[in-house]
Structure 1
Amino acid sequence: MKKFVTSDRSIHKMDESTEPVITVKDGSVVTIKIKDHFNGQINEEQLHYGEIDWKQFSPTTGPIYVDGARPGDLLAITIEKIKLTSKDVLLLNGPNIGITGELLPNNCIRRYKIERNKIIYSEEIHIRLRKTIGLLKTESNKQTTPFHMSTKYGGALDSSDITEGATIFLPVEKYGAMLHIG
């Protein structure tokens, strides 16, 4: 049976008191809606880097309780499909972030259109779009690491390999695994 999880209850840090958004059986197919890394802060009217509330950065949907997952297990997560809900992409670039390094004197946010599975960087430059999942994490007993930090339990993995068809294995330390995705 297919299950659906909305992004209505996104969180930014793990907390023992956070109840699972859903309980699923091992092997379940789950459709999960996630928010963008900026938690919807950036829209057409506001594209200023200095106005970003970094405490809202990188929200996750979850936790998802996987019935039967026990400490010592490995949880296999297969990404069957990634569907974008936007027709554009936001890129952060500057001396402190992104791929441009020192080429830009200030950090900036730019919005680029997506057409035919390509990011339209300019009339001459079209970059193939590779849809990925940025964050996957199971909860550990010691919740001292923010979501965006990677540990052996996952985190902000930001790998182009975490895309459609990929299977990711994460260790389980808590009953139910308590999976977060973003």
Structure 2
Amino acid sequence: MCTINMAIATSIPQSGSVECCYSAGPCHEHNFHNHAQCDACPCCRDTCDNANSCIPCQKKRNATTMPRMHESSSNLLALLSSICSGESPENNNAQNTYTMCQLKRHNHAESAWILVGDTIYDATPYIRSHPGGTETILRKSGGAADCTEDMRFHSGRAQREWRKFKVGTLVACPRQSSS
């Protein structure tokens, strides 16, 4: 079973780690969140759709969007460099990694991310204009399938065009790597 940092799991000031909060633990004892509403993976940066009312997901979002003191100086320099050059940190593709838990949430017309090898692209702008139709993208979005072969079907020009829609890279969720 994976472990998560107590600071992310609950607001109880304790040190160390606990089992996934899907098992009985301090968050249940103090009723910090309702699992019927929260379907986020407790082992990675995945957050539920109710992040405004879900305390553990709020904490995860805050922990992943704010620069942390323990980050290496090269990461902080890259972040500062991207901000100074006019890029937003979200668009700094070299830094962005996502787990399959996070990728699975992007499987609809408002946010359709596709997986090509271990690279994630945002296909949302192409959904309505894709010659193969909306369903061809939505059927494989959210990591439902690896689109490497589909990408090879497209012209070199189309493949180069996709580079600017790179969201990030797929990494293993700690839950999956510990099983």
Q: Taking structure 2 as the reference length, what is the TM-score of the superposition?
A: 0.24
Between Structure 1 and Structure 2, the one with more strand by share is 1
Between Structure 1 and Structure 2, the one with more helix by share is 2
Larger Rg: 1 or 2?
2
